[in-house]
Structure 1
Amino acid sequence: PLIRASVSDIRIPLFLFAFAEELQKSFLPIFVRQLYEPNPWLSESVIISLPIVVWLTIVGLAAPFSGQWSKRFGSRNIFLFGLIPSVAGFLGCSMAQTIFQFVLWRGATALGYAMITIACQDYLLGKNVAGSRNVNIAVFIGIVITATMCGTAIGGILAARIGYQATFLIAAGLMILAGFAGYQMLSLDIGTGIEVTPTGKGGLAGIRLIFKNRRFLVFLFCIAIPTNILMAAYLWYLVPLYLFELDRTTAEIGRTMMIYYLLIIAIGEAVSKKVNTAKGLTLLVGLGALLSGIGLVAFHRWYDFWAVALSVAFLGLSHALIKAPQITLSLEICRAEVQTAGHNIVLGALRVLERFGSIVGLITGAVMIDHYGYQKTTGIAGISVCVASLFFLLFFFVFRKNKPDA
């Protein structure tokens, strides 16, 4: 077929957009705490978590619709339309005077994020796009993680120098630049006509299908959901607040969080290339999850900046072992379901369930911080992850050793 597009088309637009979106990551809970006013129904910690909870919820709900819009209208059009709620959301965040207003505008940025990331993903899966799908998606993930690393670090520096509101305005400006780049670089009709879910196998039907697989349930509740909870509840929420309490600047917070993404970039791709058997992948994600729990337990008693930095490094190292392999492993575990419904259904259901787990975990973590404080909450989370990962390893390597697949 005639090649009319390539992965290079999305590099600059997607990087600019993701970079702008991530400028807030190192200071968002700190900014929300400044807007906090006492509420008779919800505690301070829960209210501070609401912008992240709403963002995760809307991204999860909007992603399937964004995929359908992209197939119908083309990826470039959805990319450009997605910038409207994103830019409006960051402008609104810069002017928000209450937490309710801020949550509303963060919801708008979540809608834009879902539309744009799904549009870019579908662009790479479209007809007449150079390169294999696997390589193109790996490049997509690499762009997003690299932009996240840079945006988190530079956003912290900007917030320390010019303030939170001005940083939100810079994010909006960068997104407009991403729009110009996307308009110039993305081909008009790429992204339409990609694999469509068979009728009756999508959404809840797909989730019901994979829920019959016991091995998948063990993987989901022991590896996939805990991994996402640690990223949302610990890295995005607890780390900024805890370091701010330790009198660290937003620039230092951003650099500390950057360690996580740097390790995933440096180690993740190399690890995923080395291990490709089902047994090897299972061992890798199990040990990776165990390592993340050990990292939290080992350093949770130190009321110190370096303890947090080391725990973030442990988290980055362990998630580098988990992130890419868990996608391949989920498809291997659900081989029968993939043949019945397609890999999009399995991965789509996995993402929905991961996000739902992250939301529940984040709210639970916020409540625990109110009752136990940062240190004890970190220790409890670490022990829970260790127990879950040990059960996962026992289930796959001991309990099921002489049993047929579920």
Structure 2
Amino acid sequence: MSSTNDGSLSRSRIWKVSLLPTLLIVATLVAASIQASRLFEQSLRPDLRAKAETLAQTVALQFHRAADLGIPVNRLGAADAYLDDAALGHEEIRYIGFASPDGHLLYASRDLKAKPASFFDKVLKAHALEEARGLARLDGDLDLVHPVVSRGRVIGQLHLGIDTTYAEQRLQEIHTDVLITLFVTALVTVEVLMALMGLLVIRPLRLLRRLLELGGAGDFTRQARVRLHDEATRALASAGRLVRGLNRRHAALDERAAPELATLRERFRFGDPKAPAALEEPGTSDLRLPLFVFLFGSELSRSFWPLFVKRLYQPGPYFSESFMVALPMSLWVTAMVVCTPLAGRLLNTKSSRVAMLVGMVPAGLGLFMTGLASSLTELFFWRVVTAGGYGIVTTTALLHVARTSKQSHGARSMGVFVGASTAASVCGTAIGGILADRIGYAATFGVASALVGLAMALVLLLAPDLGPVRAREEGEPRAMAAYLGILKRGRVLLFILLAAMPARLVLTGFLFYLTPLRLHAMGFTEAAIGRLMMGYFIVTVFATPVVSLLADRHGWHRGMMLVGGGLSGLGVLLFASAGGSWPLLAAVLLVGLGQALAATPLLASIPPLFAEECAGFGLDSLLSVFRMIERVGSLVGPLLAAALLGASGFVRSTHVIGVGMLALTAGLAAYLFLRSLPPTTPTPKTP
């Protein structure tokens, strides 16, 4: 069986094995969620009335005290303002009014004053017709009446308007959050099961087959490392003990058997029984689970980050609010760019395992301290620390995938990286918004830091320690010299500027910066913002494997990049004119589809497009330069969006980004067309 077919069969088996437990887990959670929703629905409406009655008692107490002091209730000058303050912060309370015992309205909150004069007459008639005393239904809302008593007599009545649609809205939000949680649970379950199946079942069986193949060929010099003790690894350990036994017996033969040993060594090769050579088979999915958990934690703040920064902003004479909100996002990218070369150096001198751990330590610490920041200065510092670790981890994973993938499966191998990052973005963006809405910003950053700690434990437990990838050979260009040499190649730089930077501008400037601010200004909560932004990542999760497969099978890498750029630009333009939740969601989905089409085949198209540069400077150096310049787009994106927002408002700034994306995509199409033309050879001049 070929390795290609074997890999496809392994993926098929992993999917089949992962599907059943995922369905069982989700079915159990669905049953529990339905039961919890019913209980919550049964208790919500009575709780709303109980809360309104408690508020009425609190407000009535102030009128009671005034009457006890001898102040006539019809001469309380600040009563209207007091009722406004009392209604403030209670979303389910539409209005509060105070009426005399004969039904004449004396004081009213702002919302009740805005209603026509006949409205309160309808309220009184509704109470006269209602069988349940104290609560009347009017135009779909409820009016709660509470008597105000002083010295044994009724001096007035409080009327509280209860919004009945509030309960429906809250129930709808809860049901949506439950569905999102179920979806995230299924996604996390699939990611974890697929990664564990690959690491704990498929990988040991592949090593066992490789060990048996070597033994069949007479090679007993290698032995697989066993880190865990389950069925598959126990079978691998048994084969390893057999190999060690053969090596010990071979070493125990004395010199009298020299002629026989010579004959034996002609047929077989034996290793050192004390220090056997390691048998490893590095794969693209080795780091998928730790990377997924790490990115999950890092993405928890995605949906509310601009709002979190805005909360700490203090007006000053030099910098506008829009600039200060965008600055941490640009500092994040700057720190990532600075730390990107360190990942390649650690990978070459240590191992991918060490590089991942080195990056995760500052990232986890930075996330925890970011939640405790009390000023923008503290936030900026810890954001830079977090970004440095994030850059090391993501670049290490990218280089690991690039080095262990096969040329024929470039897009699919990169899909491992893109798939893990987008799946984590779906989970982090959705759950982060819900957590911020429920437990606050600081606690959400604490959860993010804990997830990074879990990712570190998974690296120690699951990631293979392969050692340094290679040492720098004599005559090989140093990293900085290679970077400078690549930057001097105009065709490489132009491709990155046209293909990679526009996508990052849209991602960081539009989606991560403008979108949360716009949705918050439109009245969306943190959880609602997270739900809507999650649509972007859901599209990329489902589109990435399909795009990877089609790009590799049909060679559509360049065409998909162009279509993706066009769809991204159109999605941004649609968002600018959208007014409701569904048009906004459609725009975000369109941007997500465009980014999936453009990003997945992008990295895989670099080696064939720039084979000369890969041979001269190395694929690692080329990818590092690619990522650094790509991140310049991420750096410029928020600052450009902030400048446009401050100068021309949201709609025009979004139009500029969308039209710019379409123009740069047209430039990329022209570039690829010119590159596809055969080189022209000068015709010799006739004498």
The normalised TM-score by structure 1 is 0.89
Question: Which of the numbers 594, 599, 603 marks the counterpart of 1:323?
Answer: 599
Using the TM superposition, give the Cα deviation of residue 359 of structure 1 relative to its aligned residue in structure 2, in angstroms. 1.2
C-alpha distance in structure 1 between counterparts of 2:360 and 2:603, whole Å: 28
Is the 1:225–1:357 contact (alpha carbons within 8 Å) kept by the matching residues of 2? yes
1:369 matched to which residue of 2?
Answer: 645
C-alpha distance in structure 2 between counterparts of 1:180 and 1:116, whole Å: 14
1:206 matched to which residue of 2?
Answer: 483
1:275 matched to which residue of 2?
Answer: 551
Change (3 A) 1:124 1:379: closer
- SS of the residue aligned with 1:359? helix
Letter in 1 for 2:374: Q
C-alpha distance in structure 2 between counterparts of 1:375 and 1:91, whole Å: 36
Which structure has the larger Rg over C-alpha atoms?
2
Letter in 1 for 2:428: G
2:266 equivalent to 1:10: no
**Mean alpha-carbon deviation: is it higher for 338-347 or for 156-165?**
338-347
Structural mapping, 1:166-245, within 5 Å: 166-187=443-464, 189-194=465-470, 199-200=476-477, 202-203=479-480, 205-209=482-486, 211-214=488-491, 216-245=492-521
Using the TM superposition, give the Cα deviation of residue 56 of structure 1 relative to its aligned residue in structure 2, in angstroms. 0.9
Q: Which has the higher contact order (CA 8 A, sep 6+)?
A: 1
Change (3 A) 1:133 1:268: closer
Structural mapping, 1:66-81, within 5 Å: 66-81=343-358
C-alpha distance in structure 1 between counterparts of 2:553 and 2:486, whole Å: 25
**Mean alpha-carbon deviation: is it higher for 137-146 or for 348-357?**
137-146
Question: Which of the numbers 323, 336, 349 marks the counterpart of 2:612?
Answer: 336
1:83 matched to which residue of 2?
Answer: 360
C-alpha distance in structure 1 between counterparts of 2:402 and 2:578, whole Å: 47
Using the TM superposition, give the Cα deviation of residue 71 of structure 1 relative to its aligned residue in structure 2, in angstroms. 2.8
Q: How many residues align?
A: 402
Change (3 A) 1:140 1:205: closer
Question: Which of the numbers 249, 253, 266 marks the counterpart of 2:542?
Answer: 266
Question: Which of the numbers 308, 313, 318 marks the counterpart of 1:31?
Answer: 308
**Mean alpha-carbon deviation: is it higher for 239-248 or for 173-182?**
173-182
Using the TM superposition, give the Cα deviation of residue 298 of structure 1 relative to its aligned residue in structure 2, in angstroms. 3.2
- SS of the residue aligned with 2:637? helix
2:673 equivalent to 1:404: no
Q: Which has the higher strand share?
A: 2
Q: Which has the higher helix share?
A: 1
Letter in 1 for 2:295: A
C-alpha distance in structure 1 between counterparts of 2:312 and 2:531, whole Å: 24
1:21 matched to which residue of 2?
Answer: 298
C-alpha distance in structure 1 between counterparts of 2:455 and 2:627, whole Å: 26
- SS of the residue aligned with 2:287? helix
2:237 matched to which residue of 1?
Answer: none
Is the 2:291–2:455 contact (alpha carbons within 8 Å) kept by the matching residues of 1? yes
C-alpha distance in structure 2 between counterparts of 1:111 and 1:62, whole Å: 6
- SS of the residue aligned with 2:500? helix
C-alpha distance in structure 2 between counterparts of 1:156 and 1:196, whole Å: 45
Question: Which of the numbers 102, 106, 115 marks the counterpart of 2:379?
Answer: 102
Using the TM superposition, give the Cα deviation of residue 339 of structure 1 relative to its aligned residue in structure 2, in angstroms. 2.3
2:437 equivalent to 1:156: no
Using the TM superposition, give the Cα deviation of residue 27 of structure 1 relative to its aligned residue in structure 2, in angstroms. 0.4
Using the TM superposition, give the Cα deviation of residue 182 of structure 1 relative to its aligned residue in structure 2, in angstroms. 2.0
Using the TM superposition, give the Cα deviation of residue 78 of structure 1 relative to its aligned residue in structure 2, in angstroms. 3.2
Letter in 1 for 2:618: G
| Structure 1, unaligned runs of 5 or more | none
**Mean alpha-carbon deviation: is it higher for 222-231 or for 296-305?**
296-305
1:349 matched to which residue of 2?
Answer: 625
C-alpha distance in structure 2 between counterparts of 1:161 and 1:329, whole Å: 43
* Amino-acid identity (%): 31
**Mean alpha-carbon deviation: is it higher for 337-346 or for 232-241?**
337-346
The one-character-per-residue Cα deviations of 1:231-254 (angstroms, maximum 9, x if unpaired) are 111111111111111111111111
The normalised TM-score by structure 2 is 0.54
Letter in 2 for 1:193: V
Question: Which of the numbers 102, 105, 114 marks the counterpart of 2:391?
Answer: 114
Question: Which of the numbers 43, 49, 52 marks the counterpart of 2:326?
Answer: 49
| Aligned residues: CA RMSD | 2.9
C-alpha distance in structure 1 between counterparts of 2:400 and 2:558, whole Å: 31
C-alpha distance in structure 2 between counterparts of 1:396 and 1:82, whole Å: 36
C-alpha distance in structure 2 between counterparts of 1:47 and 1:196, whole Å: 43
Letter in 1 for 2:635: I
Is the 2:304–2:526 contact (alpha carbons within 8 Å) kept by the matching residues of 1? yes
Is the 1:201–1:341 contact (alpha carbons within 8 Å) kept by the matching residues of 2? no
